[in-house]
Chain A
């Protein structure tokens, strides 16, 4: 029984972190219909920012994550404003190709600047745990989980209640109409991409604190974000959270009760089944599933 509880708890914590990783990816996709293949490298870049900051000034990564967010916001804003916006009206999948190029550039760029050494942001508390009996709760992952939940709630509040958020949603639903209403689409797009990159940067700081990272890990986080975003569904800011928690739990339980590495096959089976029976994802809105391309 305690193994089951432990697996469940750990799966939830892991799921929260996954949700934070995928949140920005889901936002960009939902609003601009861009599948950002460079998302994983944003995550890793965020980890490097927090790591560098800690090794230079000793700043705790849970504060350093705001620096990561800021740095990535600026990068994301500029990339969208001056590069991706240039091809927004092009045929399908061009943005995919563009972000693929960006990913190659960033990953080898990080490889050159930071080397491929495995890094980790060390804290005195991240691996410590508390709990009773057979169930342990590690502090690092708990904090990361709380950050993920807080960020999701803030994101929902921003998107649903502020002018900026409403203009993001409006542009996502109908860019032409939004422009007629006086919304500066170029700016809103850049803003959205910047926010998404900032979320990735924060997630990166968490990833670096609870685990290790190197440039080549970027691809894995992109793939995970892809899966989680679709599983949760687009057009709902809780989508990434739902997708992340489901993947986290499935992996934890599957790892516990299935032999070998069948658990990975199970995770993808769940994904395919969800898509077949509920194409708009767990909590997504049907509009985004029906929309093929802008």
Chain B
């Protein structure tokens, strides 16, 4: 960030209009972001308690998608085992709260840090792999971790799940309720978007994009590719672990099958791809859009909702293969809004 702070004035001189534009470009997104967070707080007072839970699930996926976007979108390393950080964070919190009676807030921090460390640890060997091979290796780690959790029942409860104490004198932190989790998930989601925004505009972010486009060339011009990748992976693990820990407390009882569910990873990937990978806004749109659509379909077309969701995804992908944000960006620039032209561009 420091390298950028003086850039606009120097480049654009003293032209007031240009300065205004530069100012808007620099701070506009942050202001809009704040506006949306404020709007989300306002929304909270307008909806029912149970809807808060539905909306906080959306926030949760915004944060998860954003976390995946760091490693999968910016760095181009498609992690198919991202859920391992989610599960690790969730189980760390559950185990700490159930066995050692540590409070939730401490557990939350410990869980996130542990997920960060784990990301760095597995990142070192695995990030040498490329493309789908990296994807499958991380998938292996996540599936393997689930089996480990299942096989140490004395600690994790095994397949029977583990319950965070929330009532009586066993409870170390009072249950936050749907109100509390709404706020917490909202803050985590906002934080994840902020992290993504900071990374996107920083020198580090440019290094990441360089790695994504051509890793050898990035290395040749002086980017420490290993450090860049491992740091990103750890950061992505941090956010995911944070979400997992919060989720565990919200759910009270957690099960390994769900906490390490490959479908959660798949959802993260899909949300990012729909919105536009490697953009700050894309994962937000993808997560909000997909969660909203699937929730709406479930409530209104209960018997065929998954079928319809599949159909919508197929049509959406065919029409907007590059994701929403890149499409809009290109369309605005080229004044070419036709979806058919867009389809023509990507077909064989």
Contact = CB atoms under 8 A, between A and B. Distances in A.
Complex A–B touching at CB under 8 A: yes
Interface of A: 29, 35, 37, 83, 85-94, 96-98, 100-109, 112, 185-186, 189, 219, 223, 226-227, 230, 260-262, 264-265, 268-269, 271-272, 275-276, 279, 289-293
A101 B267 CA distance: 11
A268 B147 contact: yes
B310 A105 contact: yes
Given A104-B309, A268-B141, A271-B140, A93 B317 contact: no
Chain A interface, >50% SS class: helix
Contacts of A108: 304, 306-307, 310
A89 B78 contact: no
B147 A104 contact: no
Contacts of B126: 272, 275-276
Given A96-B269, A98-B318, A223-B262, A230 B132 contact: yes
Nearest to A292: B131
B130 interface: yes
Nearest to A109: B307
Contact of B273 (A96, A103, A227): A96
Contacts of A100: 266, 270, 310, 313
A279 B129 contact: yes
A101 B140 contact: no
B318 A261 contact: no
B252 interface: no
Contacts of B312: 101
Contact of B144 (A83, A268, A276): A268
A281 to B, nearest CB: 8
Interface stretch (B5-13, B22-30, B51-59, B340-348): B340-348
Given A104-B310, A227-B139, A291-B131, 12 more contacts: A83-B318, A87-B347, A88-B346, A91-B277, A93-B273, A94-B273, A100-B270, A101-B313, A102-B310, A112-B304, A186-B348, A289-B130
A112 B303 CA distance: 9
A290 B130 CA distance: 7
A265 B311 contact: no
A269 B144 CA distance: 7
B130 A265 contact: no
B314 interface: yes
Contact of B151 (A94, A265, A269, A289): A265
Given A101-B314, A108-B304, A112-B307, A230 B321 contact: no
Nearest to A231: B136
A87 B147 contact: no
B39 interface: no
A117 B346 CA distance: 40
B147 A264 contact: yes
B49 interface: no
B125 interface: yes
Contacts of B318: 83, 86-87, 98
A105 B309 CA distance: 8
Given A87-B317, A275-B137, A290-B130, A105 B151 contact: no
A109 B68 CA distance: 30
B143 A97 contact: no
Interface string B61-73: 0000000000010
A97 B273 contact: yes
A102 B125 CA distance: 34
8 contacts: A29-B132, A89-B348, A94-B317, A104-B309, A104-B310, A109-B307, A265-B147, A276-B128
Contacts of B78: 92-93
**Most chain B beta-carbon neighbours within 10 Å: one of A107, A189, A271:** A271
B274 interface: yes
Contacts of A102: 310, 314
B258 to A, nearest CB: 14
Contact of B147 (A29, A35, A261): A261
Contacts of A83: 314, 318
Contacts of A93: 72, 78, 269, 273, 277
Contact of B321 (A91, A107, A226, A269): A91
Nearest to B80: A226
A265 B273 CA distance: 30
A216 to B, nearest CB: 11
Contacts of B331: none
Contacts of A90: 321-322, 346
A104 B306 contact: yes
Contact of A87 (B72, B266, B303, B321): B321
Interface string B113-149: 0000000000001101111110111011101100110
Nearest to A87: B321
B300 to A, nearest CB: 15
Contacts of A272: 126, 137, 140-141, 144
